[in-house]
Homo-oligomer: A and B are copies of this chain.
């Protein structure tokens, strides 16, 4: 079974985080929703209260144990993730190990800080990156360059999730899930 680490904090975007978990779990992937705040209880951008599966300080996030890491957007979640040294180090570790490294909406700012998107094809929510010109900013809804997958906002969250499932070799399953959800 494939294993995905999703890192979240207060202010996460609901569809980007929980819609993505929904779809990936439907695809048979084990997704761990991991709080980086020190608390299990996390409040979304629109104040939905969620209990995370784990806390960052209590699980092993070494990339050798996982198939992918996902960072949802929403504010102040994206800023929180960018300003958390362990999150940035985890992103660098996954990227260097060739594991899928995925972010949506404002969360590609974490990739920018981690220094992994220079000269890479990337998308994000419009106007989020400090230096769009340092990467190849394509403004597509979902973009993939090697082991980096990015997406631009809530409307693309489901396509982002299906793209991640496909990149993990689950194209057939993803297609069945898509049909079952009436996409």
A143 in contact (CB, < 8 A): no
A59 in contact (CB, < 8 A): no
Q: How far is the CB of A170 from chain B (nearest CB, A)?
A: 15
Q: How far is the CB of A35 from chain B (nearest CB, A)?
A: 12
A34-74 interface bits toward B, Cβ cutoff 8 Å, 1 = contact, 0 = none: 00000001001111111100000000000000000000000
Q: How far is the CB of A109 from chain B (nearest CB, A)?
A: 17
Number of copies: 2
> Contacting chain B: which of A20-28, A76-84, A113-121, A130-138?
A20-28
Q: Is the CB of B19 within 8 A of A48?
A: no
Which of B50, B141, B181 makes the CB contact (< 8 A) with A48?
B50
A15 in contact (CB, < 8 A): yes
> Given the complex, which residues of B lie within 8 Å of A156, measured CB to CB?
182
> Which residues in window 9-33 of A have CB below 8 A to B?
13-15, 18-19, 21-22, 25-26, 33
A90-125 interface bits toward B, Cβ cutoff 8 Å, 1 = contact, 0 = none: 000000000000000000000000000000000001
> Given the complex, which residues of B lie within 8 Å of A18, measured CB to CB?
14-15, 18-19, 44, 48
Q: Is the CB of A22 within 8 A of B33?
A: no
> Given the complex, which residues of B lie within 8 Å of A51, measured CB to CB?
41, 49-51
Q: How far is the CB of A119 from chain B (nearest CB, A)?
A: 25
A19 to B161, CA, bound (A): 15
Q: How far is the CB of A141 from chain B (nearest CB, A)?
A: 7
A143-157 interface bits toward B, Cβ cutoff 8 Å, 1 = contact, 0 = none: 000000000111110
A71 to B183, CA, bound (A): 20
The 5 lowest CB-CB distance pairs between A and B, nearest first, are A153-B182, A49-B51, A14-B22, A25-B46, A154-B181
